[in-house]
Amino acid sequence: MDTQYAAAYPELYRKHWWWRVREEILLRKIRRILGTVTGARILDVGCGAALFFDALQPFGRVEGIESDRNAVEQSGRWRADVSVAELNESYVSDAPFDLILMLDVLEHVADPERLLRRAGEILNPSGSILVTVPAFNCLWTTHDDLNHHLTRYSSNSMRKVIRRAGLATVETGYMFQSLVLAKLLVRLRDAVSRAPARVPTVPPAALNRAMQTWFKTEHLVAGWLPFGSSLLAVAGTKERRCASDQ
């Protein structure tokens, strides 16, 4: 991530309509995934400054893993719960996790199968991996360059990555359907102007509230549509898939 963007990220996460809507969608999905599980063990991979931890705490015990030490040092009361490391063979957990989050992480990774495979190894057989990524390479803009993205995903390409990691896809779906047209227009503008990407800012309060209301409602009404600017996927072990098919 661009250093200026990284500095602005905490305020964007707490106030910007896009992050507020995404968090609400994620929490609704997590409630459904965990169901009646109490005291769940949750691992947030690439958790940054642990900004999601307060919202996750009611579900159980939350831990994080983050390779950017500067981000981890800003995690406040959650600092002791975040490991400065990468999710690879050197990362050891004292017990399997019920839920592993990879929220806008895989688009930064050259070998996403390896990361998912390692997550599967520390996942409870009945647990889930919840992934979000930017959707469709045709929506690539300078914002992706600013974020140091390597790719964007479709439902089909994500399912292939999950399968190659030795896991089973439980579901996929898209978010922010209305942003597709906006992204295409920005892509066209980028092709014409070649202007550098700018770090996002929080819109004026009234507009920010209106956008938040629009996209929350859109997801409830049109979240089933097979397109969007972001993709959400839930994966599990093959043992879980076999058990659910019985």
Structural domain boundaries in the chain: 3-238
Token digits of residue 228: 């969007």
| Phi, psi angle pair for 228, to nearest 5° | 170, 175
| Interval 55-96: pLDDT, tens | 999 999 999 999 999 999 999 999 999 999 999 999 988 899
**Rounded to whole angstroms, what are the CA distances from 217 to 150, 227, 232?**
31, 16, 17
Percentage of the chain exceeding pLDDT 70: 96
Asked if the 3-238 domain carries CATH number 3.40.50.150, the reply is: yes
What is the reported pTM?
0.94
CB 107 within 8 Å of CB 153: yes
Q: Is the pLDDT of residue 245 over 60?
A: no
Q: Which range among 39-43, 140-144, 204-208 shows the weakest confidence by mean pLDDT? A: 140-144
Question: Residue 246's pLDDT band (boundaries 50, 70, 90)?
Answer: very low
Q: Is the pLDDT of residue 215 over 80?
A: yes
| Phi, psi angle pair for 27, to nearest 5° | -65, -40
Q: Whats the size of the chain, residue-wise?
A: 246
| Phi, psi angle pair for 148, to nearest 5° | 60, 40
CB 42 within 8 Å of CB 99: yes
Q: What is the pLDDT of residue 195?
A: 75
Q: Is the pLDDT of residue 8 over 70?
A: yes
Token digits of residue 204: 């004026």
Closest C-alpha to 60, from 34, 78, 82: 34
| Phi, psi angle pair for 193, to nearest 5° | -95, -30
What is the rounded distance in angstroms from the CA atom of residue 223 to the CA atom of residue 42?
Answer: 25
Mean pLDDT of 102-110: 97
Look at residue 148 and give its three-state secondary structure: coil
Strand partners for 173: 232
Gyration radius of the chain over CA positions: 18
Q: Is the pLDDT of residue 126 over 70?
A: yes
Q: Compute CA 86 distance to the chain's CA centroid, rounded to the nearest angstrom.
A: 16
Longest CA–CA separation in the chain, Å: 56
Q: Which residues have a Cβ under 8 Å from the Cβ of 24 and sit 6 or more positions away?
A: 216
